[in-house]
Amino acid sequence: MFKKIEIWILYLLILIFFISLILFGGFLKYSASGGKKLQNLQIVANYISDIPLNFIKILRTTNDPGNHFVDKSMKNIKEKNGFTFFKNNEILKNKLLILSRYDGDKKKGVVEVVDLNNFKVIHRYEPDSKSLLKNLSNDYKKKYPTTEIDLSENRMFLWHPYIEENGNLIFNSSSPLFNIDICNRVNWVIDKYFHHSLEKNFENNYWATHGVLSKINEKYIGKKSSDWSDDGVVKVSSNGKILYEKSFSEILIENNYQNLIFTHLQNPINNDFCHLNDLQPTFNNTLYWKKDDIFLSCRNLSTIFHFRPSTGKIINVIQSSLISGQHDVDIIDNKTISIFNNESFHTTNGFELINQVSSIVHYSFDTKEFKKMHSKILENSNFGTRFGGLIQYLNDKSFIVEEQEHGRILYINNKDELIWSYINKANNGKVYVLRWSSIVEDEDKAFKIKKIINEKKCIN
């Protein structure tokens, strides 16, 4: 049935195989060490080397549809599911927690409205994947051919959701921006590629981060614009109309900061140097900023950019040795911002934590000084996430911090005492990720939302 071959041919094939293996391994090492030659071949070699791991991921996803959102480190695996209380605190009375999480039992992304009077879930947003997909244009699906997979029920998540007084919820899933009502019905869609942050401004419009297909000059990136990953900022009206849009690469070029990104074009680790992971609009005029300026967090440059859309100018470039791989910039007062500092950096092995604990850094525009805050309580809580995560300060300076990849939220009072924690654990014992939760502190708004929930009449 099979034709016999000479034994020397078999030995030769084995020898060729091992020589090829050695050469392939050496070439991968050359690529990982930053080799500049044969860039296209490096891409092919790295793609081939990823095949076994990607195959394993596919098998795991088939067996467990939610595996993509499991905390693989098992850091909080021994913690109790849900809320754990350490001290009594009345500060959160009459407020709501908007909890965005991947539900490991239902294997889908959900947003839960938690009444902080009793810590009970009073409503769940569970948008229907098919309904969302039905509202997307064919042009968008052609641009992003994996859309139907990414927005499938088991893969969709609700990122940085914003709840309006009428109960509508705005969110993305590394996807178009969606607005749904209290019954999960779609109100409007903007079918551009949004990700990460969504913030309301003083005009009741929204600022958001999104990915853009780069249109910058070929002299910077060549003709293969798809090889250059660009993000942008966009202002959206409350009824879903785009009011302003700008590429981050263009912002940097027009302000003569192109040297921050284009010196890295041959970087073998990451070409995503325009990666925006948060923005924060300003609400008033101060000595240091004007109303509706925005602070942009660029993770892969470990930099905060103070940008003025009204003039197109970068006002400040905020960098420090204390900041690395940060997310979430917030305004503390008229001269201070806070930065959720992941303390991570990007290597060929993925993101690594520098100190194993993330930190909160305050920057004063008055003194130009950076200062780490809440270090002791965060270290004692072993709080650290390589990517994602946020902090939200309340009016009394208490705050929540979200450990995104490890599925944990901590609420800490203004004396740096841990009041409660939340763990997103499923019945299978696994911990699943969170996706930027928040507290509705305005009691009047919280009352209106609860009223809408109590009076809702949804037809399933």
Q: Which band of pLDDT confidence, cut at 50, 70 and 90, is reported for residue 269?
A: very low
Task: Check whether 38 has a pLDDT greater than 90.
Answer: no
User: Domain limits of the chain?
Assistant: 7-60, 201-389
Q: What is the mean pLDDT of residues 39-56?
A: 68
**Tens of pLDDT, residues 320-358:** 999 998 999 999 999 999 999 999 877 766 667 777 899
**Tens of pLDDT, residues 153-181:** 999 999 999 999 999 999 999 999 999 99
Task: Check whether 268 has a pLDDT greater than 50.
Answer: no
Model's pTM, two decimal places?
Answer: 0.84
3-state SS of the chain is CCCCCCHHHHHHHHHHHHHHHHHHHHHHHHHHCCCCCCHHHHHHHHHHHHHHHHHHHHHHHHHCCCHHHECCCCCCCCCCCEEEECCCCCCCCCCEEEEEEEECCCCEEEEEEEECCCCEEEEEECCCHHHHHHCCCHHHHHHCCCHHHHCCCCCCCCEEEEECCCCCEEEECCEEEEEECCCCCEEEEEEEEEEEEEEECCCCCEEEEEEECCCCCHHHHCCCHHHCCEEEEEEECCCCCEEEEEEHHHHHHHCCCCHHHHCCCCCCCCCCCCCEEEEEECCCCCCCCCCCCEEEEEHHHCEEEEEECCCCEEEEEECCCCCCCCEEEEEEECCEEEEEECCEEEECCEEEECCCCCEEEEEECCCCEEEEECHHHHHHCCCCCCCCCEEEECCCCCEEEEEHHHCEEEEECCCCCEEEEEECECCCCCEECECCCEEECCHHHHHHHHHHHHHCCCCC
Q: What is the mean pLDDT of residues 278-296?
A: 97
pLDDT at 271: 60
